[in-house]
Amino acid sequence: MPSSNLDVSEVFAQRQAQRSAMHARHLNEQLVRVLKTIGYDVGFQKGQGQYLYDRDNVRYLDLLSGFGVFAIGRNHPALRSALKSVLDSDLPNLVQLDVSTLAGVLAERLLRYAPYLDKVFFANSGAETVEAAIKFARSATGRPGIVHCAHSFHGLSYGALSLTDDVNFRSGFEPLLPGCTAIPFNDLAALEKALSSREVAAFIVEPIQGKGVNLPTDEFLPGAAALCKKYGTLFIADEIQTGMGRTGRFLAIEHWNVEPDMVLLAKALSGGHVPVGALLTRKNIFDKIFNQMDRAVVHGSTFAKNDLAMAAGIATLEVIEAEKLVEQAAKRGAELRLALTRMVPGYELMKEVRGKGLMIGVEFGPPKSLRLKASWNVLETANKGLFCQLITVPLFKDHKILTQVAGHGSHTIKLLPPLTITDEDCKWIETAFDTVIAGSHKVPGAIWSLGKTLVDNAVRKSA
């Protein structure tokens, strides 16, 4: 029987106009309602590099990059070529009773970036990588406890969610994994108190917190590493969002000269097409997990180390190196932060710009003038953090920039663009932010009319 010549791009073209209806009926209806409410249902048709194109072929600048997945941009030709070469080669994929050549190559290349580590475990996602880290830490130390930070985000599967300090994600799914304790970010005294019981297997931390783009003090991460060593606790750097050049170093932890016992990678390692996660660790830890032949597969995952994922990781590293994207992230990020910081004195609603490389947070806060304060309070009473939508929605609708609020109830907008953005893109960002923020200081005005609409929606939701 001849095989059909399925052209998925034709299926996309034929059904794209029905995307919202299909999702409302078969998938997540609430997400469809959100997108329609804030005017984001524009029907994206194409992605290229740092740009997205909607159903009318209007170009948008993507500062969300799939939550950091598209560090090298969408549909990079080198990545596509690598994936096609795998599909065209009839490779013996996922034999299981064999070892993967491409996994060996990718592991070898990743470890060059962390020469103090020796072994790699591959998984299918960031959350799976966190789950592996929990298991490895407990098994290697014989201890039950895991310490994480307030405002942390480590994933939404059960173990990872147990280390995620966000009631919006945890609510309805508790009780979670026992033995997990949160300490304040940047609080070494609290960390020492938690570790002093010598019952803690690992301390896991995002070098820069994704929720809020919170930076550590210069003392926190080196001090945490020293405390972990003192009490026999493993230090785990969750670089799932911050790694792969995002902050102007290949690993964000490098900014503080810390050498963790484990480094967790995912998101950008995939190149945006094939999910992949990687746990890098020390040999003495790894060997305590896989310590004899009958435990050779004591932890694993069916699709981990598949050839497409490994090829995506190899190609992504090639692009990062060839195009010097780590250096570019450092340069463009510094310039963009400076340009945005210069706006702060001119706008009372704008409080701070912070970050490293192309992981940037723009924080807003309560104004001092009475007219603005009254409008701000109406929004905050209806829904904490609602003001940021008065910035992100006009950025999207009027300036064709896609960005996000940095967490539930947050007053910070996060910029997480592809590392391939240009000087022209940065000027686009600066002009758009300046215009929109200026508009937010005009009461009454178009932006505060949007605010009234959002408040009305919030009130209806609560009712």
Active site residues: 153, 238, 267
CA distances from 67 to 84, 186, 210, 241, 402 (A): 25, 24, 10, 8, 11
Q: Do 406 and 67 form a contact (C-beta atoms < 8 A)?
A: no
Exposed/middle/buried for residue 150 (C-beta within 10 Å: 0-12, 13-18, 19+) = middle
Which tokens hold the place of 23? 């999702």
Q: Do 434 and 428 form a contact (C-beta atoms < 8 A)?
A: no
Max CA pair span of the chain: 76
Task: List beta partners, residue 236.
Answer: 204, 262
Q: Do 133 and 157 form a contact (C-beta atoms < 8 A)?
A: no
Distant-in-sequence contacts of 16-19, Cβ < 8 A, 24+ apart: 16/43, 16/45, 16/55, 17/43, 19/43
Cα–Cα distance for residue pair 414/426, rounded to 1 Å:
15
Exposed/middle/buried for residue 108 (C-beta within 10 Å: 0-12, 13-18, 19+) = exposed
Cα–Cα–Cα angle for 390, 361, 415, nearest 5°?
80
Q: Do 372 and 441 form a contact (C-beta atoms < 8 A)?
A: yes
Contact partners, residue 459, CB within 8 Å, separation at least 6: 382
CA distances from 138 to 145, 183, 274, 288 (A): 8, 19, 29, 10
Cα–Cα distance for residue pair 73/329, rounded to 1 Å:
13
Cα dihedral angle (234, 235, 241, 245), rounded to 10 degrees? -120
Cα–Cα distance for residue pair 369/274, rounded to 1 Å:
50
